[in-house]
Amino acid sequence: MPKVIAMAGKGGTGKTTISALLIKYLKNRGITPVLAVDADSNANLNELLNLKVGLTIGQVRKELKGDIPAGMTRDQFMEMKIHQALVEESGFDLLVMGQPDGPGCYCAANQHLAMTMDHLGENYPVILVDNEAGMEHLSRMNLRDIDLLLVTSDPSARGIMTAKRISDLTGPLGVTIKKQCLIVNRVPAPAPAELRHKIDQAVAESGLELGGLIPASADLVNQELSGESYLDLSEDTPAVRTAFTIFDRVLAD
């Protein structure tokens, strides 16, 4: 069974940044191949990796509601289309979920997606899902057992509070989560004492463990602005080095 890692957190906290750095970490450590799933409706993980996406699962769902080519079942059609949607790279593949579903029922399409993801997931030791704040895509993909949930926050009281709420809401989703860790992103140096207090309070009052604090980084900003892949960043970049130390710790179990 693959190890399933999922991201959660309110918008703008850096879930996608941490996802890209985690892909770099897994590649560098030889923990491959990785299936990276961008489940954010505002999909941009591919941009941080400098990759082009041709087909999304949202588009496949719409096609599944139409006519299926003769001689194919809907399961076979979904499997074929998912493989077409995969962006294959060295050490990892990227799958983009795309925009939310439009009018009409997509229950059958989601059922076919879940069945196909079961087969697809067998080919990867790690599945990484970059989610929106909600985690409905995990259920749609039949990923109900999460080994590690990384809840991200920015260095604000609201961000920390939202991270705690997300942790509290995982139970009603019917998803089993073995380990939840809080990562606070873009933290100024030194970290304000009040921020430290809010973090300690959130950890004490929830099921979250503290993964760590990633410093604000001009290097990451410049890499994104230049359109260069985060995979090309040096491990000596302070934010990358800190992130890798965090990943060493939270993935140790």
What top-level class would CATH report for the domain 3-250?
Answer: alpha beta
Q: What is the arithmetic mean of pLDDT over 7-36?
A: 94
d(CA 85, CA 97) in angstroms, rounded, equals 9
Residues 71-120: tens digit of each pLDDT: 898 888 888 998 899 999 999 999 988 765 555 555 666 676 777 777 88
d(CA 248, CA 253) in angstroms, rounded, equals 10
- Phi-psi category of residue 168: left, alpha or beta, with phi > 0 → left and psi -120 to 50 → alpha: alpha
| Per-residue pLDDT, 234 | 96
Domain boundaries of the chain, sorted by first residue: 3-250
pTM: 0.91
| Per-residue pLDDT, 110 | 66
Neighbours of 177 (CB within 10 A): 21
d(CA 202, CA 148) in angstroms, rounded, equals 18
Residue 121, both tokens? 């997931």
| Per-residue pLDDT, 154 | 94
- Among residues 179, 148, 22, which one has the least CA distance to residue 38? 22
Residues 165-181: tens digit of each pLDDT: 887 776 666 778 899 99
Beta strand extents in the chain (DSSP E only)? 3-8, 34-38, 87-89, 92-96, 126-130, 145-146, 148-153, 176-177, 180-187, 209-215
